[in-house]
Amino acid sequence: MSWTGDPKRDIVEVMKLLYERGIVQVRGGNASIYDKSSGLVYMSPSGVPRNLLTMEDVAVMTVGGAVLKGNPTSEWRMHLAVYEADPEARAVVHAHPPALLALTYKGGVPDPELLTEVKLNAKCIAEAPYAPPGSPELAKVVKETIMGTGCNVIILQRHGALVYSDKTIYHALDLLEAVEDLSKIIHYLGGPS
C-alpha cells in the first residue's frame, strides 16, 4: 500500500526526501513498495541521481524476481528477501545514514527506548553481518536476521540501514529518519548508549 495510491510517485518522493535530508548520496540508497494484490514490486532504479528521479524511472518486478520494466536497484534481492521473510511487509527503505553508521562503527546500537518516535514504530533494531552490497549473500543475511529477530530495523554492518513497514513507504521513511535522529542524539550525549 502506498500513501498517494501511486507507488511510483511515492518511491520518487521518498528517494528525493532521503537525498535532501542527507541520508543517501546522489546515487545511493533504494526503496520499494510491494503491491500484494498484484504481486508486483515497485523499486527505485539503479544509477539514476536521486534528485532527478521521475516516475518513468521506477522499475517494476514480480515478487518472484522477474523484471517487467526498467532497471531495478542492484539491491533488488535484498528487497525481495524482506517480503519473503515477513509476509506483512509492504515497503522497504535502505539508506546510508551517517550518524547511525558512525554510532555502529563505535560499537553502539541505538536503544529504541531513548526516543518515543523510534520506540513506537520499531519492533526492535538488529544487526546483520557484513555481506557485499547487491549480493545474494546480503539478501540471505537480511532474511535470516528478520526471521530470527522479528526486527523491522536492520543495521547492515559497514553498509547502512534497512527499514521496512507493514503500512506505507512513508511509515518506513519516518522510522528511518527517527533512527538517524536518535543516533545524532546519542552522539550529542557523548557516544554509544
d(CA 179, CA 94): 12
Cβ atoms within 10 Å of 146's Cβ, excluding its own: 23
Q: Indicate whether 2 pLDDT > 90.
A: no
Q: Distance of CA 67 to CAs 2, 42, 101, Å?
A: 20, 10, 31
pTM (2 d.p.): 0.95
| Residue 1's pLDDT band (cuts 50, 70, 90) | very low
Catalytic residue of the set 13, 20, 56, 75: 75
d(CA 56, CA 38): 19
Q: What topology is assigned to 7-188 in CATH?
A: L-fuculose-1-phosphate Aldolase (3.40.225)
**3-state secondary structure string across 124-179:** CEEEECCCCCCCHHHHHHHHHHHHHHCCCEEEECCCEEEEEECCCHHHHHHHHHHH
d(CA 9, CA 33): 11
Residue 75 appears among annotated catalytic residues: yes
Q: Indicate whether 125 pLDDT > 60.
A: yes
Sequence spans of domains, the chain: 7-188
Q: What is the pLDDT of residues 91-116, one digit of tens each?
A: 999 999 999 999 998 888 899 999 99
